[in-house]
Structure 1
């Protein structure tokens, strides 16, 4: 490779040619008639692939124009191989790539060289030429090049120009550091140039259109823009280009370059969408191919969408105390709302740095975010924390344009309290308020929050709204009531939830709620999001694989599934594997029966997108109702149902009678605390999935004896846990006694006359340190 110090003044033109006999004379004519000193340019033609008369035409021009430095050479087939060979041979300080069917104006090199600098890319005017009529007309790039001189924000406004191979003069010492990828059939120009932009901080100079530094591109019938639809061209090749973009995204350091690279993926997805529009039956195949790359970034926002309908100019403000990357059920559901509504939004949320983070989902939902306002806030459900979050947020929002619409969601009531303040300040703003579960009571028994005890807040609200709230009202009750009063639309996940919240609120809210209520269950995402993350989890398809995602607690236990699995005969049970993903592995280790524990793989919880991907891989997904407790009707609907629906896998739900889930259309259903219905469900699953008709259940099991043995097992586990806890407490007690003893000894030493006598010596020692 030639070092920079050995490069000669002038321009090297690299020109790959393949069967160019019909067009190349036009280019050669434009080269031999250049107004620049012939000693200041070289034209390197690289013949690649099957031969025609092109080499003979070039040789003739060489013989007839010895004053022009025309070089003819050969390379392996493929335009990338040709360009790489040309890069090895060139000898001038600046480089330009020209296609063999294009041509240039006579003063093109002179003008490009006039504005060349070592840290600059120079761009000429760009025109299209019709192959049939030879008519010259503006290309889609021409209007972008109307403005001359140094170009500000090129990565925003010159995107298409920066990634075509031609019409750019680049310093040769930089060109020689990179090569074109011969494995790419399409998008080779993008893959090449983005390497340069990631590593170098160029300035971009556009020559004034009136100076006629023109590049003429021939529009041929077999050009990329006119290629027929095919899976290879529209999908396979596009994913290869996106892969190259992702490689460079990992190296990009400048924000504007990162944004530019992400934008380039959108052009590739546009071609994928063209294919899917004609072949929707291949959607899953496309998703599986995307998933195989496990891209760090992919513009799922635009995949299989009408792009013109996505970018709405008037944005809604999403108020969500917990939001991606914070990993909670609430933040995930808000993200799902954004992804299903497909509108650009602004978001305001708390930082919540101490909570778990999920950056994979953040990469997806951020594609719909224009502004994200993060308020510094440690996680707490106390009133002071709520009030501080609201105060900081309003101080920020007061400096922004007033929103036409806002949306907020509770479980965390911080979101609704902030929306309340915003609505009071801007009553013209339309407010959608969503509730995930009843806020005042848990399972109809225990209150979920304490009294507000804030006279200033209650006094201000009472005066402003002419109400009679009390400082003894609990925080969640006030949140519920004020939200019902002030919002324009109330979103409940199910009708039972609405009825329970009306009946448990101490204020008369029935008419208000019924007027504003809308039932909208948790969103089910498009299939593409189930393939946005590639899970490496290993599943042995020689077994019937069932999966459970989540924890167990007092009102949602796992006992009905255990009873059902235990009812199978041993031969059938050996054909089953149960996969559990939970933050409570130890608890499952204790409650699972020995029979099913042997067939179970226990795993920690996974991030949301991996969870979605995993749901597509199992034969059956398990979900269980939360019991209604002291509520008259069950207001709960497991959010996982909505996620399971989009997976394509079968669902087994253990339902409380007449619950919302009990009334859904689910593949397999059994009842809470009913071993017989569990047996029926597992029997049907085995018969359907394993094509086994007989001897599925162990009919020798006596129900009373089984329950007796199960009770003994659980009692023994509880006894073992108590022993472990007591042993740990004893250890703690021993440690505390030892620490107390050491503190005693330390105190005695510090108060002793011997220690006091050494005080002067210790002062002297510190002085000389």
Structure 2
């Protein structure tokens, strides 16, 4: 590892002698624990080709997970980690990431990449990839969108800093037609450009579900939409092969359960769907409630435990420490059900443009999925052994009763 004038540290894999023809631009990337970083890592495994990577040092805002590094290491040739201020939709972070990323790539690379792939969130990734594609450093650009860039899950607009109409941004403007130039000048914010510059310049646009594509198309002017649709690909988050879920010999396993055990991995929001699940448990007869354990693997459990106490279900809820990614996959096999839920949203014109990435990890587990969905949402269209709908507390309680009774023959209940 060394530092160069680009403020980027460089890691070169000893596992591969070949050079890479594909560059991954991912502001958030392993070893940092982040949902988008995990998805990019799984995309690399799925593609199964050598890659170089440019990413940011997220030490200030994310913890590390070395199992994510192990996941991508067989495909990683060179990894440039760029040190910049970590700010979301702000040019004070975005501009140095792009400039230092360009220097890092060009100092090590004497010819263009066949392909550059970038993924939001964060918006930085698409800006660097756009420069690489428009300035001849890559022959093809694949831009993936994790969620609608412009909108929060509650359908409110995300705040965004401005884009300066000078310097390198003027070169990006010159890469598009006159009508597109006028549109970008009128919508000169970081998040707007993070969506519309890929819409104009990327060779392929990847969305996780059809409803996300529809919402993002609705944000675009009508003259832009046909071109976007012609280059759009729908590709849900990848699921890793079964080998990644098998526990290593000698690794500790959860204690055997004497209840119907439900696993939930990640932040559990009582005010975003979690509260009604706890309320549904409270509606069950005491004899059934005593047979249920909900394990929540999270670093922030204050609101969860407060809600459980308030609803009288504290005996059915256990807070567990967060797990590194590999351990999470292995532990997922130890439960009777894995819980995933949609978040109730204000109207987008579609049931939901969001597909929880957690579902793709659950899909590879031997444990069945328990899904609480919005009718017609992308999650609602996925297979699940048990299903109820957001807002239907009685329906969730009935689902839980059915699951406990159906699985009871395999559990030694007290």
Q: Does TM-score exceed 0.5, indicating one fold? A: yes
Residues in 1 aligned to 2:191 and 2:103: alpha-carbon distance in whole angstroms? 24
The alignment partner of 1:686 has SS state of helix
- For residues 287-336 of structure 1, the C-alpha deviation after alignment (integer angstroms, 9 at most, x for no partner) is xxxxxxxxxxxxxxxxxxxxxxx998753111111111011101111001
1:473 paired to 2:181: no
CA–CA distance in 2 between the matches of 1:375 and 1:337?
21
- Of residues 510-519 and 448-457 in structure 1, the stretch that sits farther from structure 2 once superposed is 448-457
Cα pair distance change 1:386/1:578, threshold 3 Å: same
Which residue number in structure 1 is paired with residue 277 of structure 2?
Answer: 561
Question: In 2 relative to 1, CA 311–659 (structure 1 residues): closer, same or farther, beyond 3 Å?
Answer: farther
Cα deviation, residue 509, structure 1:
2.5
| Counterpart for residue 497 of structure 1 | 212
Secondary structure of residue in 1 paired with 2:339: strand
User: Could you tell me how far 1:603 is from its partner in structure 2?
Assistant: 1.7
Residue 600 of structure 1 and its aligned partner are, at CA, apart by 1.6
Greater RCO structure (CA 8 Å; 6+ sep): 2
Counterpart for residue 7 of structure 2 = none
Report runs of 4+ in structure 1 exceeding 4 Å deviation.
310-314, 532-535
SS of structure 2 residue aligned to 1:442: coil
Cα distance per residue 1:370-391 (max 9 Å; x no partner): 1111112232112121111000
Deviation for aligned residue 1:557: 2.5
Cα shift readout 1:138-168 (whole Å, capped 9, x = no counterpart): xxxxxxxxxxxxxxxxxxxxxxxxxxxxxxx
* Alignment partner, residue 98 of structure 2: 390
CA drift of 1:461 comes to 3.0
Aligned to 1:586: 302
SS at match of 1:339: helix
Whole-Å Cα distance in 1 between the matches of residues 373 and 301 of structure 2? 24
Contact 2:24-2:116 at 8 Å conserved across structures: yes
Q: Which residue of 2 aligns with 1:145?
A: none
| 2:145 counterpart of 1:430 | no
The higher radius of gyration belongs to: 1
Change (3 A) 1:562 1:410: same
What's the CA shift for 1:453? Answer: 4.3
Match among 60, 74, 81 for residue 367 of structure 1: 74
Residue 319 of structure 2: aligned partner: 602
Residue 356 (structure 1) aligns with:
63
Matches of 2:148 and 2:64, distance apart in 1: 26
CA contact (8 A) 1:493 1:521 kept: yes
Which of 154, 157, 174 is equivalent to 1:463?
174
1:669 maps onto 2:387 in alignment: yes
Rounded Cα–Cα distance in structure 2 between residues aligned with 1:652 and 1:329: 21
Query: Normalized against structure 1, the TM-score is what?
Result: 0.48
Which of 203, 217, 220 is 1:488 aligned to? 203
Change (3 A) 1:514 1:331: same
Checking the alignment, whether the CA contact within 8 Å between 2:94 and 2:124 is kept in structure 1 is: yes
- Kindly indicate whether the alpha-carbon contact (under 8 Å) linking 2:342 and 2:379 is maintained by their aligned counterparts in 1: yes
- Give SS of 2:312's match: helix
1:498-519 Cα offsets, whole Å, 9 max, x none, are 0000002357431011100000
Name the structure with the higher helix share. Answer: 1
C-alpha distance in 1 between matches for 2:154 and 2:287: 43
The 1:462/1:430 distance shift into structure 2, 3 A limit, reads: closer
Asked whether the equivalents of residues 340 and 358 of structure 2 are also in contact (C-alpha less than 8 Å), the reply is yes
Q: Residue 691 of structure 1 aligns to a residue in which SS? A: helix
Equivalent residue of 1:447, what SS?
coil
Output the CA distance in 1 between the equivalents of 2:345 and 2:270: 11
Q: In the alignment, which residue of structure 2 is the partner of 1:158?
A: none
Q: CA deviation at 1:651?
A: 0.8
1:569, distance to aligned residue in structure 2 (A): 1.5
Instruction: Measure the CA separation in 2 of the matches of 1:452 and 1:554.
Output: 34
Task: Report the counterpart of residue 527 of structure 1 in structure 2.
Answer: 242
**Given the superposition, is the C-alpha separation of residues 542 and 661 from structure 1 closer, same or farther in structure 2, using an over 3 Å criterion?**
same
CA distance in 2 between counterparts of 1:393 and 1:555 reads 39
Structure 2 unaligned runs (5+)?
1-10
Equivalent residue for 2:233, pick from 511, 515, 518: 518
Equivalent-residue separation in structure 2 for 1:554 and 1:409 (angstroms): 29
The equivalent position to 1:413 in structure 2, one of 108, 112, 123, is 123
Unaligned runs of 5+ in 1: 1-254, 264-309, 693-769
Q: Are the counterparts in 2 of residues 311 and 343 from structure 1 also a CA contact under 8 Å?
A: no
**Residue 544 of structure 1, aligned match among 250, 260, 284:** 260
Instruction: Report SS of the residue matched to 2:81.
Output: strand
Aligned residues: 388
Q: Shift of residue 575 of structure 1? A: 2.0
Q: In structure 2, how many angstroms separate the alpha carbons of the residues matched to 1:480 and 1:572?
A: 49
Return the offset for 1:609: 1.2
Cα distance in 1, alignment partners of residues 17 and 193 from structure 2: 37
Give 1:555 shift: 6.9
Q: Whole-Å Cα distance in 1 between the matches of residues 82 and 386 of structure 2?
A: 44
Deviations for 1:618-644, whole angstroms, at most 9, x for unmatched residues? Answer: 110101002232311110111111110
SS at match of 2:344: coil
Q: Distance in 1 between matches of 2:156 and 2:117?
A: 28
How do 1:69-148 residues align onto structure 2 when only pairs under 5 Å count? none
Decide which of 383, 403, 419 is 2:113's aligned counterpart. 403
Using the TM superposition, name which of 368-377 and 615-624 deviates more.
368-377
Cα distance, 1:535 vs. partner? 5.9
Q: Are the counterparts in 2 of residues 532 and 609 from structure 1 also a CA contact under 8 Å?
A: no
Contact 1:637–1:661 (CA<8 Å) still a contact in 2? Answer: yes
CA distance in 1, matches of 2:316, 2:255: 13
1:378 aligned residue? 85
In structure 1, what is the Cα distance between the partners aligned to 2:264 and 2:292? 14
Match of 1:656 among 351, 374, 390: 374
Q: How far 1:532 moved relative to its partner?
A: 6.1
SS, match of residue 256 in structure 2:
coil
Q: SS at 1:522's partner residue?
A: coil
CA contact (8 A) 2:288 2:401 kept: no
| Alignment partners' CA distance in 2, 1:627 and 1:312 | 48
Aligned alpha-carbon RMSD (Å): 2.5
